[in-house]
């Protein structure tokens, strides 16, 4: 998800409190029974589902891109306690954060890239210690984390922070030798730091990678190479691409295929082909009809098409982002998509964009898509849906088969 508006709020309201890294205590508002039991097992693929904490299951989750970029430990604990109380199993947290000029940086950031070199930020107030705390807290609350290692967009230091230093275009990043060497150095820094954590669900190559106008070979070859590199560093955790699920003529046989934007391969991504990469453990798909020029009902088609492809490949697929702005009837629109996921598909899980709450520090990293904890719509789209996904466990198949 492109999220510049979120950062404007975050920059102006971040707390400047200090940090002491320690194992957090679960929020007292959440009963112990509501927390997912801790496990020494790493999440893993089990056919088209995932084994989480020793149980093969469908799951509901959410996105909290900001969790490792908060200055306040209390804010981190509040969010995770509410996520656990909801029944969510997995949340997605940005593990990237680069800057070309640390002297003017107001956000948490994890590395500097500039003409003098590549440096990791160990500052306890605004550096990697913030992600340290978020991961330690997730372990305590029994929540699993998907960690994207790069951003396609400019926010929080995306691909542009590499091309600013190593030259070339956005499209050229994927084959730029110097840029890829720096990216792999950052991957190694993050993966080796956290590879023993049971809170990690998967490493993700990029948030919504795109190579607009490129052959799909570019991202396919890049994903194949980088995912294999991560597997060499860490054989215990899963790896995913983090793409939006764009289709090409490769998938022309899929029911409902049409010659329109999402199916043309314009963004340089071929979901079905990439799903075949052995070192990518599962597929991801995002859903923003209103941004892509489709009506909301088309969202059900998009869900069923990726379920069809995942079934054919024998791999799990996660609906990793989906959202509707708060100006729309979200309960009706998103509720229909959720019904399709629960009753007409066998996607392993889904994660709405994004989780919203009220932080005591006053920080507000949310956008118009946030669904706020404990509101009436959250009771349906959050708590209610998590219960429905948990209810699928033990069912042999969707109520209506879709291929």
pLDDT digits (tens, 9 = 90+) for 75-88: 999 999 999 999 99
Could you tell me how far CA 53 lies from the centroid of its own chain?
A: 20
The tokens for 114 are 């500039």
Q: What is the mean pLDDT of residues 222-242?
A: 98
Considering the candidates 36, 204, 272, 321, report the single residue annotated as catalytic. 321
Which pTM does this prediction carry? 0.91
The C-alpha atoms of residue 138 and residue 84 are separated, in whole angstroms, by: 9
* pLDDT on residue 41: 83
Cβ(347)–Cβ(317) under 8 Å?
yes
The C-alpha atoms of residue 348 and residue 306 are separated, in whole angstroms, by: 11
Closest-CA residue to 271 (of 292, 305, 247, 249)? 247
Q: Which of 137-151, 181-195, 387-401 has the lowest mean pLDDT?
A: 387-401
The C-alpha atoms of residue 31 and residue 85 are separated, in whole angstroms, by: 8
What's the mean per-residue pLDDT of the chain?
A: 91
355-356 vs 111-114, strand pairing mode: unpaired
Q: Which of 8-22, 87-101, 184-198, 329-343 has the lowest mean pLDDT?
A: 8-22
The C-alpha atoms of residue 226 and residue 230 are separated, in whole angstroms, by: 6
175-195 tens-digit pLDDT = 999 999 999 999 999 999 999
The C-alpha atoms of residue 128 and residue 105 are separated, in whole angstroms, by: 14
Q: What is the mean pLDDT of residues 160-177?
A: 98
- Compare 21 and 170 and report the one with higher pLDDT: 170
- Compare 10 and 102 and report the one with higher pLDDT: 102
The answer to whether 208 is a known catalytic residue is yes
Q: What is the mean pLDDT of residues 256-266?
A: 96
* pLDDT on residue 396: 54
Q: What is the mean pLDDT of residues 317-346?
A: 97
The answer to whether 321 is a known catalytic residue is yes
* pLDDT on residue 157: 82
Please say if the pLDDT value at position 14 is more than 60: no
Considering the candidates 36, 82, 139, 208, report the single residue annotated as catalytic. 208
């Amino acid at each position: 998800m492109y999220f510049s508006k979120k950062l404007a709020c975050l920059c102006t309201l971040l707390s400047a409190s200090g940090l002491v890294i320690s194992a957090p205590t679960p929020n007292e508002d959440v009963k112990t029974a509501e927390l997912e039991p801790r496990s020494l097992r790493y999440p893993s693929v089990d056919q088209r589902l995932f084994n989480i904490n020793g149980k093969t299951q469908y799951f509901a989750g959410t996105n909290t891109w900001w969790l490792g970029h908060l200055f306040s430990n209390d804010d981190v604990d509040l969010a995770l306690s509410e996520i656990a109380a909801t029944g969510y199993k997995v949340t997605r947290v940005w593990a990237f954060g680069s800057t070309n000029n640390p002297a003017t940086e107001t956000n948490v950031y994890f590395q500097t890239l500039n003409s003098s070199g590549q440096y990791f930020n160990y500052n306890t107030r605004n550096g990697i210690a913030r992600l340290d705390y978020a991961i330690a807290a997730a372990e305590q609350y029994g929540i699993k984390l998907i960690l994207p290692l790069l951003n396609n967009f400019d926010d929080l230091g995306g691909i542009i922070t590499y091309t600013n230093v190593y030259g070339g275009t956005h499209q050229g990043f994927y084959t730029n030798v110097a840029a890829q060497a720096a990216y792999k150095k950052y991957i190694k820094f993050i993966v080796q730091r956290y590879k023993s954590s049971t809170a990690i669900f998967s490493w993700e190559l990029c948030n919504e990678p795109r190579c607009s106008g490129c052959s799909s070979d570019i991202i396919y070859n890049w994903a194949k190479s980088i995912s294999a590199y991560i597997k060499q560093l860490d054989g215990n955790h899963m790896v995913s691409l983090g793409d939006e699920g764009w289709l090409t003529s490769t998938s022309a046989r899929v029911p409902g295929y049409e010659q329109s934007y999402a199916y043309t391969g314009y963004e340089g991504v071929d979901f079905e082909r990439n799903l075949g990469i052995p070192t990518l453990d599962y597929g991801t798909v995002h859903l923003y009809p209103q941004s892509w020029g489709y009506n909301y009902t088309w969202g059900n088609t998009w869900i069923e098409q990726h379920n069809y492809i995942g079934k054919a490949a024998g791999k799990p697929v996660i609906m990793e982002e989906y959202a509707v702005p708060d100006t729309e009837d979200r309960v009706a629109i998103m509720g229909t998509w959720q019904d399709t996921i629960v009753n007409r598909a066998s996607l392993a899980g889904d994660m709405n964009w994004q989780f919203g709450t009220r932080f005591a520090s006053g920080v507000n990293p949310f956008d118009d898509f946030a669904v706020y904890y404990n509101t009436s719509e959250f009771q349906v789209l959050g708590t209610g849906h998590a219960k429905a996904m948990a209810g699928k466990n033990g069912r042999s198949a969707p109520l209506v088969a879709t291929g």
